[in-house]
Each structure stands twice: as structure tokens, then as C-alpha cells.
């Protein structure tokens, strides 16, 4: 009866004895592995269905009571069963299986005699490849959606909604650890005149180019955002106002050297940017921090444009 149950179960299953020899290898496992029962029953070749070279499968570890070795062979891939004593569950990828490999979820439990001694181990397997790939695709889709939701479509920088969330986090971190934090606010000089003269498509090219210049000048700890229209902002944690001014000057000079050839213009056009720099004051409200940075940017405009103004 037990043999009939194993043979007709739709769940791929095999059983090995204490000597590691295969006792049962059912039809479902024949289909999954491509190995017929008559080829392996009575042998110790169950590992060949899953691996190119010999290594113990989980059933081998269970019959030898070597559960302590499970973390070595299945690091981060297994759990102790909550339903069955002496049983373990795991999910892993098996590249040797037909079709370029499969993801299998498998459960192994000990079979004990009336005295409680282990006499065999049974391992059941489930092909979860489709489920795993669907889950991976869903996570990738969610990741992509999140990236799109926080990214400005034109420049590829972060958008203003994400800016406020991140700046709040940086302010909290600066207050907690008493570390400096600086902010840059950039505005393209005379951008409206450029748009009125050459059109919005040419204006978009200027915005894209400034985004590239900013990105190329950033350090790993900095983050840049399109704040709105022709305004951009850069958050600089662990940075004093003086250090932030140096980076702002680099951005200003790099952008000033950019050449634009708008349709109908006939010759190269240079654009400039005015930048306000401010260092955060401990316990300052976000609104006041932004207001001071905005004020410094307008001071740069008022002093002739194409310059950096910093006042903390």
C-alpha cells in the first residue's frame, strides 16, 4: 500500500534508507528528473538528478543525523518545518534539470521505526520555477514602477516629491548625529528668454544637459533633483557650506562651458546658472532651510547671475 501511495502520488518523491540506497523513486520524479526508477532504485545515485558532481542532498544529511551541516549546503535557503518534527524545507535552483534548470521547493523528513530510530528519509519536491520567475518579474516591475515614480522623466534626476522625503530624512540624520548638511538650489539664467527665442524643445535640451552636468559632478553621497521648471537642487550630507560651494562652482563652470546649437540659431549659444548654497542649522525647520537656500540663489541672480552665493 505504501508503495502504491508513493508511485501514484503527483508529488515527485524519493526515499533512501540508512545506507543511502534508493528505496522508492516515483513516476512524478521520473518525469521531473528524466531518470527512470529502474535506473536508480537500489543505488546511491539520487544526487545525479540534481547535481553534476557528487554532493549530499538533504535526505542524506537527515538519515545520517547531520542536520548541523544543512546551513553549509543550503545557506539562507532552508527552514525547519513548523508542521513536522525532524523535517526541513528549502528552495533552490538546480541547473542540471531539463530545460535549462528548475527552481525546486523540497521537504525532507525522517522516517523512524517503533523505537524512534531513523530508518529512512523521504524527500518530496515541487517545481516552483514559474512561480519563482513570476515573483521575480513582479518584484522587478515594482522596482521599476518605484523608480519611475520618483524620477523626473526629462532629466533622469529625482523629482521634487522625492526631494522632500529625502531632505526630511537627511535633516533628521544631521540632527541625530550632529553632522553637517548643505543644500544647493540652481536656476538657469534667462531661461524664459531662451524658450521664447528658440522654442520649448530646445529649452528641454538645456534642462537635460544641466541634469547631466550636475550628475557628473556629484559625489556618491550627494543626490540631485529637478525641483521644478528650470530649478534644480542638490542635497549634500556630511558637507559644510564651504565644501558645498566648491562643488557648486564646479557645476557652474562646467555648465557655462556647454555649447548649444538651437535650430535656427546658426551659432553656438552658452547658458549659465545661478546657484544658492546654504548649510543647515541644527533643529531648523525644513521650510526655513529651503527659504534661506532660495534667498541665496536670488542673491546670486541679483549680483549679476552666473555665480554662486553662499551665506549660512
Burial 199-212 (b: 16+ CB within 10 A, else e): eeebbeebbebbbb
| DSSP state string for 49-95 | GT-SS----HHHHHHTT-GGGHHHHSTTTEEE-SSSTTEEEEEEEET
Nearest to 61, CA basis, from 71, 52, 75, 53:
71
Q: Which spans in 116-275 are helix H?
A: 129-149, 160-177, 191-198, 200-217, 241-256
Tell me whether residue 126 is one of the annotated catalytic residues. no
Given a contact cutoff of 8 angstroms between Cβ atoms, the answer to whether 122 and 108 are in contact is yes
17 in Cβ contact with 120 (< 8 Å): yes
The one catalytic residue among 89, 170, 202, 230: 230
Count CA atoms closer than 13 A to 59's CA, side-chain side: 27
Which are the catalytic amino acids?
A: 230
Amino acid at each position: 500500500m505504501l508503495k502504491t501511495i508513493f508511485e501514484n502520488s503527483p508529488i515527485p518523491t524519493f526515499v533512501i534508507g540508512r545506507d543511502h540506497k534508493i528505496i522508492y523513486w516515483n513516476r512524478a520524479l521520473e518525469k521531473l528528473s528524466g531518470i527512470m526508477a529502474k535506473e536508480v532504485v537500489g543505488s546511491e545515485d539520487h544526487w545525479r538528478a540534481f547535481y553534476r558532481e557528487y554532493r549530499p542532498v538533504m535526505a542524506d544529511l537527515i538519515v545520517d543525523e547531520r542536520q548541523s551541516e544543512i546551513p553549509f549546503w543550503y545557506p539562507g535557503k532552508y527552514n525547519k518545518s513548523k508542521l513536522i518534527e525532524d523535517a526541513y524545507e528549502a528552495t533552490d535552483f538546480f541547473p542540471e534539470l531539463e530545460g535549462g534548470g528548475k527552481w525546486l521547493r523540497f521537504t525532507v523528513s525522517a522516517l523512524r521505526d517503533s523505537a524512534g530510530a531513523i530508518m529512512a528519509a523521504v524527500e518530496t519536491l515541487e517545481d516552483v520555477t514559474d512561480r519563482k520567475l513570476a515573483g521575480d518579474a513582479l518584484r522587478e516591475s515594482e522596482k521599476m514602477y518605484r523608480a519611475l515614480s520618483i524620477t523626473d522623466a526629462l532629466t533622469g534626476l529625482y523629482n521634487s516629491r522625492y526631494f522632500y522625503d529625502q531632505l526630511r530624512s537627511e535633516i533628521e540624520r544631521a540632527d541625530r548625529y550632529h553632522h553637517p548638511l548643505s543644500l544647493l538650489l540652481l536656476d538657469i539664467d534667462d531661461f524664459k528668454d531662451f524658450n521664447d527665442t528658440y522654442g520649448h524643445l530646445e529649452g528641454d535640451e538645456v534642462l537635460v544637459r544641466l541634469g547631466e552636468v550636475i550628475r557628473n559632478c556629484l559625489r556618491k553621497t550627494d543626490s540631485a533633483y529637478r525641483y521644478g521648471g528650470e530649478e534644480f537642487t542638490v542635497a549634500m550630507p556630511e558637507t559644510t557650506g564651504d565644501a558645498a560651494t566648491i562643488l557648486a562652482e564646479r557645476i557652474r563652470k562646467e555648465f557655462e562651458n556647454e555649447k548649444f546649437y538651437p535650430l535656427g540659431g546658426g551659432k553656438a549659444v552658452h547658458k549659465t546658472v545661478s546657484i544658492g548654497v546654504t548649510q543647515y542649522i541644527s533643529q531648523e525647520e525644513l521650510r526655513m532651510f529651503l527659504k534661506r537656500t532660495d534667498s541665496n540663489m536670488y542673491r546670486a541672480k541679483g549680483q549679476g547671475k552666473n555665480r554662486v552665493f553662499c551665506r549660512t
